[in-house]
Amino acid sequence: MIKVLRLGHRRGRDDRISTHVGLTARQWGADEIIYSGERDKSMIESIRDVADRWGGGFEVGYTEEWKKQFREFNGFKVVLSMFGEELSKGMSEVKEIDEDILVIVGGEKVPSWLYEDADLNLSVGNQPHSEVAALAVFLHECLGDENLYRELEGAEIKVEPRRHGKEVINLDKESK
Amino acid sequence: MIKVLRLGHRRGRDDRISTHVGLTARQWGADEIIYSGERDKSMIESIRDVADRWGGGFEVGYTEEWKKQFREFNGFKVVLSMFGEELSKGMSEVKEIDEDILVIVGGEKVPSWLYEDADLNLSVGNQPHSEVAALAVFLHECLGDENLYRELEGAEIKVEPRRHGKEVINLDKESK
């Protein structure tokens, strides 16, 4: 089980980045995302709406107490930052893990104790970067591409991969 | 040489996503990004400012005529979308390419002829996703992680990878 914790959401300014973090978590096959920071019903509903229409069991939540969630998580906790361990070194460790994983991404202001207290402070590059990019590559390294094209239960809509052009299929939910 | 073309930037609404697209292109080792859509000096300056302070030769430009740039690009043109060829199939082809590569990412409204006219319409998953995530994984598959920790010429600042904690080094430009 992989759960993503997205820190420090700010309404307005972070809407699209936080949405992209959620969509990225869902597409690669994480099981759940929890947002913290400012409560933002419309952003969270927009992700849930995608999950409803496109299927699968992805869960979306919000917490006011992310520190508690972090401390009480029973598994391996990895924070993605530009300050952490090099990717190849860190991933060789992550791939051996047989526990649930909590992946934490910022957020503008990540308290520095988090880089100490997590089991692993992992960098996906140490240049200024993007939490969306970092999460995508981390999940891609963890889970590969096998989830990228899976059939999702309850989907109303799906896309057929095409080398050229575009093919969107509306599925008849009633006939399932 | 890898050049990224980011379509359809809108001031305000896309500021942070477009910035993340640029930072992602830079970190993975693309050579250049060209923005189209609304001209946005401050967004472009913010990326150039990162490139100046953190070093390396990453170039940032803007064009009003992206269709001309697309048509006249001398090399392999790949558009990243949720409609395209499956990643593993597409990447096996991309890895054989010995030409310059133009990577095109949306943008809310990508004209559908682009999915036909590009050499390859490549999906990084066919669920609703993020152009930042798609670009990151495409570049990661193309270039691996060898650029993620390279020393960059002219840098004023750099980060030392650490498994725990955070270490930022200010470099003395004068002493170089």
pLDDT tens for chain B, 176 residues long, are 999 999 999 999 999 999 999 999 999 999 999 999 999 999 999 999 999 999 999 999 999 999 999 999 999 999 999 999 999 999 999 999 999 999 999 987 889 899 999 999 999 999 999 999 999 999 999 999 888 998 999 999 999 999 998 899 998 654 44
For B137, how many CA atoms within 13 A lie in the half-sphere containing its CB? 32
Contact B75, B100 (CB under 8 A): yes
CA B64 to chain A, closest CA, distance in angstroms equals 24
- SS3 for B20? helix
Interface membership of A170 toward B (CB under 8 Å): no
Using an 8 Å Cβ cutoff, are A131 and A17 in contact?
A: yes
The alpha carbon torsion through B4, B10, B16, B17 (nearest 10 deg) reads: -50
DSSP E strands in chain A: the ranges are 2-9, 32-37, 59-62, 76-81, 101-105, 120-123, 157-159, 168-170
Q: Which CATH superfamily is domain B2-175 in?
A: SPOUT methyltransferase, trefoil knot domain (3.40.1280.10)
Inter-CA distances, A19 with A10, A96, A139, Å = 12, 30, 16
Q: Give me B16's structure tokens.
A: 């942070």
Which value does ipTM take for this structure? 0.95
Say if A84 is an interface residue toward chain B (CB within 8 Å).
Answer: yes
Name the closest residue on chain B to residue A152, using Cα atoms: B127
Phi-psi region of A12 (alpha: psi -120 to 50; beta: other; left: phi over 0): left
List C-alpha distances in Å: B39 to A3, A40, A113, B44, B108. Answer: 38, 30, 40, 9, 16
What's the rounded Cα separation, in Å, for the pair B56 and B37? 26
Residuewise pLDDT in 10s, chain A (176 residues): 999 999 999 999 999 999 999 999 999 999 999 999 999 999 999 999 999 999 999 999 999 999 999 999 999 999 999 999 999 999 999 999 999 999 999 987 889 899 999 999 999 999 999 999 999 999 999 999 888 998 999 999 999 999 998 899 998 654 44
Subunit contact B148:A86, Cβ cutoff 8 A: yes
Interface of A with B in 18-47 (CB under 8 A): 20, 23-24, 26-28
- Per DSSP bridges, beta strands A120-123 and A76-81 are parallel
Backbone angles phi, psi at A94, to 5 degrees: -60, -40
* Number of CB atoms found within 10 A of residue B168's CB: 11
Q: How far apart are CA A96 and CA A103, in angstroms?
A: 16
- Give me the numbers of helices (H) and strands (E) for chain A, helices first please: 6, 8
Do the Cβ atoms of A166 and B83 come within 8 Å?
yes
Alpha-carbon distance B47 to B44, whole Å? 5
Distance, in Å, from the CA atom of A8 to the CA atom of A28, rounded to the nearest integer, reads 22
Helix (H) or strand (E) holding B48, with range, is helix B41-54
Q: Residues 99-138, chain A: which have Cβ within 8 Å of B?
A: 112, 115-116, 118, 120-121, 123-130, 132-137
Specify burial of residue B65 (Cβ count, 10 A radius: 0-12, 13-18, 19+).
exposed
Are the C-beta atoms of residues A81 and A121 closer than 8 Å to each other?
yes
Angle at B30 between CA B104 and CA A129, to 5 degrees: 95
pTM exceeds cut of 0.80: yes
